[in-house]
Amino acid sequence: MTKDITLIATAAMGVEAVVGREVRNLGYEPTIENGKVIYNAPISAIPKSNLWLRTADRVKLLVGEFEAKTFDELFEQTKALAWEQFIPEDGEVPVIGKSVKSKLYSVPDCQAIVKKAIVDRLTVQHGLADRLSETGALYRVEVAILKDKVTLTIDTSGAGLHKRGYRTGQGEAPLKETLAATLIMLTNWKANDTFIDPFCGSGTIPIEAALIGQNIAPGFNREFVSEEWDFIPSKYWDEALEEAEDLAQYDQPLEIIGSDIDHNMINISKENALEAGLSDLIQWKQMQVADLKIPRERGYLVSNPPYGKRLGEDKSVEAIYKDFGRVMKDYPKWSVYILTAFHHFEKQYGKKATKKRKLFNGFIRADYYQYFGER
């Protein structure tokens, strides 16, 4: 296969523009929609996108789109698509689905119909005497129907892109690696700036900062389901991995500090950083935020502190934020970025944010408070 394909990088709400910027930086022209970024690219973009996209949830291969209001239309138009270009005769083809505001609202029925249509198509196109054996590589198909518009994709990532492969342990409310990278990429932080996370938990934000600071591809130490696909030449994976190795800046010095009041979290952070190969790049300290030591006149602080839903006590949260605000009041040249679902953060912190952005931490709506340091 030599022609271009269409890829969809899925994204959490509010993150689409960041993902779009990443796609553009990879050399592709994105179209940004709610929850996804769409782009045409050569097949080699599948390895490259999976290795490099820090803020996307998954990379999906678009097989086809059409309108369907009956099960017959769904079956016939699914069967008309060239599934054999991607799926071999022994491919394993599970089908998942979702339907929103559509006449075809029964997801199990839609999944079954799409599965039958794909199997019928592949059986004929591959000249099989019997049905698919499904003993080979995995090709997970999704049928997504929105207002009667059907989108059929194959997941190229496997495990979600937030699974970088370094997390050996975590706390009760871990921040997804993709969201941590988003928080950093929404700042102007550069590798030569001091970076602090005073509520580091299991260390996700400092670790993602170190990966960004040394330009290490976030998917470098994990596997992807599409590595087993026959239509992607293995040389594309080899070239993408070699390029990632060449672009990494392992000699870039960093001053990144992660601290937390819980010594167990600091130990977990150290283990996660070790697994990521970054143990020498991040300083870990056990301390409460009231004792936070700021080592430079300027720098960047990015954090996801505890809030009421996590601690269960608003008074505890208020006290933490007041202490935090008192400490940072003495460092007006620092840029501070805080993600929290606590609605009265600015009041307790003692200062109105320069800018505020709505994001989602899992299913929890949160605000990203941005305080730009004085120049």
66-79 pLDDT, tens digit per residue, is 999 999 999 999 99
Question: What pLDDT is stored for residue 311 in this prediction?
Answer: 45
Q: How far is CA 91 from the centre of its chain?
A: 27
pLDDT in tens, 43-70: 999 999 999 999 999 999 999 999 999 9
Task: Provide the β-strand partners of residue 152.
Answer: 64, 143
Long-range Cβ pairs for the range 232-239 (8 Å, 24+) = 232/43, 232/46, 232/47, 233/43, 236/43, 236/44, 236/46, 236/47, 237/47, 239/44, 239/47
Cα–chain center distance at 249: 22
pLDDT score for 2? 59
pTM above 0.75, yes or no: yes
Tell me what pLDDT residue 130 has: 82
Are 212 and 278 spatial neighbours (Cβ–Cβ below 8 Å)?
no
Identify the CATH class of 5-155.
alpha beta
Q: What is d(CA 155, CA 157) in angstroms, rounded to the nearest whole number?
A: 6
Cα dihedral 348→351→352→354 (10° resolution): -130
Domain spans of the chain, in order of start: 5-155, 177-219+245-371
| pLDDT value for 309 | 56
What is the pLDDT, as a whole number, of residue 118? Answer: 97
- Please list the ranges in the chain whose pLDDT falls under 70: 1-2, 171-173, 308-313
Asked if the 177-219+245-371 domain carries CATH number 3.30.360.10, the reply is no
How far apart CA 249 and CA 215 sit, in angstroms, is: 6
